[in-house]
Structure 1
Amino acid sequence: MNIFLTGGSGTIGRAVLSALVGRGHRVTALARSDASAALLREAGARVVRGDIGKLAEWLDIALAGDALIHLANSFDADAQAAETALVDALARTVPDRKTPFRLVHTGGIWLYPENSPVPLDETVPFAPIPAFIHVAEAIRKLQAIKGLSLAVVHPALVCAPDSGPLADMARAAESGEPFVTRAGAGTLWPLVEAGDLADLYRLVVESDRRVEVIGSGIEAVSAGDLAALVARRRGADIRLEREPAAADVPPDLDIAAGYALSQRASGEAAGRELGWRPRFTDAESLVLALVDAPA
């Protein structure tokens, strides 16, 4: 397939690009900076220089291919405006196409509410934190566009060796500083390893099904238990410090509020509908794989 990728230099994007190139797909990726362009070329992508908010620089190229995987979102005011502009542009252009256009859009676990012991699944209505309201609205509008073959992936908290909650905890263990978070020790987090999530995106884009799936490899682990596992692996204590909401950050830009949600989330539908089989389904194996032990 000829696939256009936004957000290809981010944590999820790097893993998705690797998964797509590894399967022989031809990937064109959007890059705003020289550093991102170099990283993307090294990973095997053709690069288009441009800004996510300047659609004239890249959207026609994306629409000339087989699919667009949209991962770019900085959750600031500019990103919200860019998201609205992209949805509006697709609503104007896609219905005129002779064949449906495949869009794989990124939602998120923080579109969903806190939940009971029963894991969240795709049937649960959205109840987004304020910073995710624009994402929920974008998905609603995209679902109504005639001629758009839409799939939506809702990642759990994404973990990679250099980013995500495990990496942040490992850095806290090394520095001796507290791990500062909006969560309490008992707050439950669903997790997914970046490579596992990338495989889900690959399966989704290769399918022609209109699906909406949660990408959660580990249904839930408490922040306290996760910190204990990382501390044991690093051979150092980790002290959790709960921080309040920042008074100077408006709610619609307060992305960190999501860490305060206590959630369980199931990836069962992704396995049933697409054959997704994440490698990491328990927190201990994920920590062993991603967190280096002290030398």
Structure 2
Amino acid sequence: MNIFLTGGSGTIGRAVLTRLVERGHKVSALARSQASAALVEDAGAQPLRGDIGDTATWGAAALAGDALIHLANSFDSDAKAAEDALATILKQALPERGSPFRLVYTGGIWLYPDAPPAPLRESVPFAPIPAFAHVAETIGRLERIDALSLAVVHPALVCAPGAGPLEEMAEAARSSQPFVTRAGADTQWPLVEAGDLADLYVRAVESQEQLAVFGCGVEAIAVAPLVEFVAQRLGRSLSLERESPPADLRPDLDIAAGYALSQTVSSETARQQLGWRPRFTDAESLVRALIPAPD
């Protein structure tokens, strides 16, 4: 397939890009900076310089191919406008294409409610934190575009070498500082390893089913034992410190509020519909894989 990728130089994007190239797809990726363009090119894809909010710089190139995987969302004051622009160009351009167009859109578990009575399934109504409200609105707009073949992937908390909550815990332990977060000791976090998540995105883009799936390898673990796993791996002590949101931070810009959500997530839909089999399904093995043991 000829696939366009936004967010290709990010934590998820780099893994997705690599997996797409390995699968033999021709990949072009939006790059905001020269450094991002170099990362894209080194991974075997064609970079296109532009800004996610300016669809005039990349929209035509994206729609000229077979599919778009959308991984870029800034969650800043410009985020809603950028997502609106994406939905608008798709609604305007796709009816004239005359051929199917696949979009894999990135949602997130923070679109879903806190402390569900049972593991979350994709059919549960959205109850987003304010910073995710525009994502929920965009998904609703995309679902109403008849000419669009839509898949929505809802990643859990993404963990990768050097990035994500496990790395943040490790950095705190190495510097003898507490791990500071919005979560409490008993808050349940779903996790996914970046390579496993990349495999799910590739399966989603290669499928033509209209679907929504959770990308979640570890369906839930309380934060306190997760902190302990990291501390044991490094042979250091690590405490947990719960922080409050800054008083002057607008709720619609408070992306960190999601860490306070306690959620258990089922990955059954991704397994059944796409044959997804994540390698990392327990937190301890994920910590061992991503956090190097001290010499």
Residue 52 of structure 1 pairs with residue 44 of structure 2: no
Q: What does 1:177-188 align with in structure 2 at a 5 Å threshold?
A: 177-188=177-188
Q: What does 1:44-83 align with in structure 2 at a 5 Å threshold?
A: 44-83=44-83
CA distance in 1, matches of 2:116, 2:81: 34
Task: Give the aligned residue type for 2:50.
Answer: G
CA distance in 2, matches of 1:117, 1:15: 33
SS of corresponding position for 2:44: coil
2:175 matched to which residue of 1?
175
Residue 113 of structure 1 pairs with residue 116 of structure 2: no
CA distance in 2, matches of 1:12, 1:107: 13
Deviations 1:77-131 (A, max 9, x none): 1122111111111111112221221100000000000133521011111000000
Q: CA RMSD in A?
A: 0.8
Task: List structure 1 runs of 4+ shifted beyond 3 angstroms.
Answer: none
> Mind listing any 5+ residue stretches in structure 1 that lack a counterpart?
none
2:238 matched to which residue of 1?
238
Task: Give the aligned residue type for 1:188.
Answer: Q
CA distance in 2, matches of 1:228, 1:115: 22
1:91 matched to which residue of 2?
91
Task: Give the aligned residue type for 1:182.
Answer: R
> TM-score scaled to structure 1, two decimals?
0.99
1:24 matched to which residue of 2?
24
Task: Give the aligned residue type for 2:172.
Answer: A
CA distance in 1, matches of 2:60, 2:125: 34
SS of corresponding position for 1:98: coil
Deviations 1:156-205 (A, max 9, x none): 00000111110000001100111110000110000000000000000000
1:154 matched to which residue of 2?
154
Task: Give the aligned residue type for 1:245.
Answer: P
CA distance in 2, matches of 1:116, 1:47: 41
Equivalences, count = 295
Task: Give the aligned residue type for 1:238.
Answer: L
Q: Give aligned-pair identity as a percent.
A: 67
CA distance in 2, matches of 1:57, 1:85: 12
